[in-house]
Amino acid sequence: MSTVPEIVRTERLRLRRPRVQDAAAVFEYASDPEVARYADWPRALTVAEIEDRIASRGPAWDSAEEFFWLVTLSGDERPIGGASLCAKGHAAEFGYLLARAHWRQGLGTEIARALVALAFSLPEVRRVSATCDAENVASARVLEKCGLVRTALLRSATVRPNISSEPRDTLRYVLTRDDWTSSRAHDARG
């Protein structure tokens, strides 16, 4: 596996490795029922849970299996969201979330585009994917804006513990390196 940067910068954002001292700020959005609604992990109920989650992510990063960043506005250290990338062999999968105060500003698309570009900067990655709950229209739109194509409706595929203990329908989106390269070449030609 190639090296993944600890800091990723976009036009308006900075993605950086989490620190345990970020736990209280992360708790503010991770405990919000609307932010955690479609997550595949249970909503945080205490700051200590967030501290444990942050501490547990270090070994995954160090083993080059899964990478987590906190999202901040450029020039500000306070987390407003999170992002992850898991790259194994030729495939990578990503996810993200944002505090509700930062929804509908194009930041989700900015994060997703940065994660797609980062995944394809790894020479071994040929395919990038992401999933979202079938009812999460906003996330589906973000993935489509980033060039990912819906390839499947997976029936009863993912438990969203903040909605139900029953598995829910999930949409799978995929983008191949060839399609990504082709779309970037087309965009450059104008």
The pLDDT tens digits of the residues spanning 2-17 come to 578 999 999 999 999 9
pLDDT in tens, 71-94: 999 999 999 999 999 999 999 999
* C-alpha dist (Å) from residue 88 to 123, 126, 127, 158: 12, 11, 10, 20
Collapsing DSSP states into helix, strand and coil, what is residue 144?
helix
Q: How far apart are the first and last CA of the chain?
A: 34
Contact 4, 85 (CB under 8 A): yes
What's the pTM value of the predicted model, to 2 decimals?
0.92
Quickly count: other Cβ atoms within 10 Å of residue 158's Cβ. 16
Give domain limits for the chain.
7-189
| Structure confidence at residue 189 (pLDDT) | 64
Give Cα separations from 66 to 1, 20, 179 (angstroms): 11, 18, 24
Taking the C-alpha atoms of residue 19 and residue 155, their distance in angstroms, rounded to an integer, is: 37
Using DSSP, how many helices (H) and how many strands (E) does the chain show? Answer: 6, 8
Q: Per residue in 134-159, pLDDT tens?
A: 999 999 999 999 999 999 999 999 99
Q: What is the pLDDT of residues 96-122, one digit of tens each?
A: 999 999 999 999 999 999 999 999 999
pLDDT of residue 184: 75
pLDDT tens sequence across 20-50: 999 999 999 999 999 999 999 999 899 999 9
pLDDT-derived band at 66 (thresholds 50, 70, 90) equals confident
**Residue 2: its pLDDT value, please?**
58
Please state which CATH class domain 7-189 belongs to.
alpha beta
